[in-house]
Amino acid sequence: MKRICVLPGDGIGPEVVASAVKVMEAASDELEFVHADIGRAAYERHGSYLPGETLKSMRECDSSLFGAVTTVESADYSSPVLTFRKELDLYANVRPVRSLVQISGRPPIDVVIVRENTEGMYTQNEVFDDVGVTTMRKVTRKASERIVGFAIRYARAHGRRRLTCVHKSNVLKASDGLFVSTFRELMASGGRDLEGDEQLVDSCALKLVTEPSAFDVIVTLNLYGDILSDVAAGVAGGLGFAPSGNIGDRHSVFEPAHGSAPDIAGKGIANPTAAILAAAMMLKHLGLGADGSRMEAAVMQFYSSGHLTADLGGRHGSESFTEHVLKNLKPGPKH
């Protein structure tokens, strides 16, 4: 049995996570669920956005499924997401984006963005002085080696052929330069079976929109990966379509790439696709690949049968989408 820590969070988080849990329960006999609080609900109940008990459950479980949290404008707020990434040493953020539905005027996309998840602009080291604010951006050799090494292994394990390093080393010569030179070294020593190339982040953003087939797997720094994965999700149909995994050597947390979308929370129209695909990624990561693949196939069948969710102008809200996915789920060997 695998134990999954379920963290619904705020906004549409509980809606899309509930849908993903239903689909996981139907897809696999190998799972046990432990529920834990994060975000505003956690603050109201325990006085903390990420209580110690929650972090303990995340550590003890085999993996976690997280919804989303709403950022709070308050002096005592620190992001629970950045905290759990740091505490659990989740150094790789993996965001696969694939078109599940043909959208007029947008080319098909199938790309995996592997984003460095521990440093860059996300160390939140900002210093005020009399003229403004200086933000420190950290790029280390160790973190660059870890993420590039991860991306090489990921590409190989998933039958991908090309790895593109995305950076801005023409301007940030030292920091992004270090990232690129690490990429070159590792590709020359351990990634020779893959095709390697390099791209500036601005032209990568353009090409993701105009010619996404130019990319297979992208490895990049923290902020660039955050932005580019939303661009890629937009090409595929919107934020409701992009799952993501925060992965370390011991722990992992899977989540939809979107946030808590307070504008649509409680309306029953959130698209649970990204959350279900994140749950499928988690099962694959835990060695339950067949169950994860059946979940993905059930989601793909929804779209290939011509159905559309509300975010794409269709008539299916969260509940009716989930019912279709459950109906599409092929029985597993143990059913």
Catalytic residue numbers read 122, 168, 202, 226, 230
User: Which three-class secondary structure state does DSSP give residue 33?
Assistant: strand
- Are the C-beta atoms of 218 and 183 separated by less than 8 Å? no
In the complex, the smallest distance separating the C-beta of residue 81 from ligand ATP, rounded to whole angstroms, is 10
C-alpha distances out from residue 276 to 223, 244, 255, Å: 25, 11, 9
Q: How far apart are CA 42 and CA 74, in angstroms?
A: 15
Q: According to the binding rule CB under 6 A, does residue 13 interact with ligand ATP?
A: no
Stretch that binds ligand ATP, among 52-60, 63-71, 148-156, 206-214 (CB under 6 A): 63-71
Please report, as a single letter, which amino acid is at residue 208: L
Q: In sequence order, which ranges of 194-236 are alpha helices (DSSP H)?
A: 201-210, 222-236
Stretch that binds ligand ATP, among 9-17, 81-89, 123-131, 177-185 (CB under 6 A): 9-17
Q: Which of 271, 286, 322, 328 binds ligand ATP (CB under 6 A)?
A: 271
Q: According to the binding rule CB under 6 A, does residue 316 interact with ligand ATP?
A: no
- What residues between 225 and 244 interact with ligand ATP by CB under 6 A? 239-240
In the complex, the smallest distance separating the C-beta of residue 66 from ligand ATP, rounded to whole angstroms, is 12
In the complex, the smallest distance separating the C-beta of residue 313 from ligand ATP, rounded to whole angstroms, is 12
In the complex, the smallest distance separating the C-beta of residue 308 from ligand ATP, rounded to whole angstroms, is 12
Q: Which of 258, 284, 294, 324 binds ligand ATP (CB under 6 A)?
A: 258
The alpha carbon of residue 49 and the mean position of all alpha carbons in its chain are separated, in whole angstroms, by 20
Q: Which of 270, 281, 283, 286 binds ligand ATP (CB under 6 A)?
A: 270
- Are the C-beta atoms of 55 and 87 separated by less than 8 Å? yes
Contacts of 264 (CB under 8 A, 6+ apart): 12, 270
Stretch that binds ligand ATP, among 114-122, 150-158, 257-265, 298-306 (CB under 6 A): 257-265
Q: For the window 69-108, what string marks contact with ligand ATP as x by the rule CB under 6 A?
A: -xx-------------------------------------
The residue count for binding ligand ATP (CB under 6 A) is 19
Residue 236 phi, psi (nearest 5): -80, -10
DSSP label of 316: B
Q: Which of 113, 114, 41 is nearest to 72 (CA)?
A: 41
Rg (CA), the chain: 20
Q: Which is nearer to ligand ATP, 186 or 279 (CB)?
A: 279
Q: Which is nearer to ligand ATP, 153 or 267 (CB)?
A: 267
Q: According to the binding rule CB under 6 A, does residue 39 interact with ligand ATP?
A: no
Q: According to the binding rule CB under 6 A, does residue 55 interact with ligand ATP?
A: no
Q: Which is nearer to ligand ATP, 36 or 270 (CB)?
A: 270
Q: Which is nearer to ligand ATP, 247 or 261 (CB)?
A: 261
Please report, as a single letter, which amino acid is at residue 165: C
> Could you write out the DSSP letters of every residue in 83-130?
HHHHHTT--EEEEEEE-SS--TT----EEEEEEE-SSEEEEEEEEE-S
Q: Which of 6, 113, 233, 264 binds ligand ATP (CB under 6 A)?
A: 264
Q: For the window 273-302, what string marks contact with ligand ATP as x by the rule CB under 6 A?
A: -x----------------------------
Please report which helix (H) or strand (E) contains residue 144, including its range.
Answer: helix 141-157
Q: How far apart are CA 150 and CA 55, in angstroms?
A: 24
Binding site for ligand ATP (CB under 6 A): 11-12, 16, 68, 70-71, 239-240, 258-264, 270-271, 274, 311
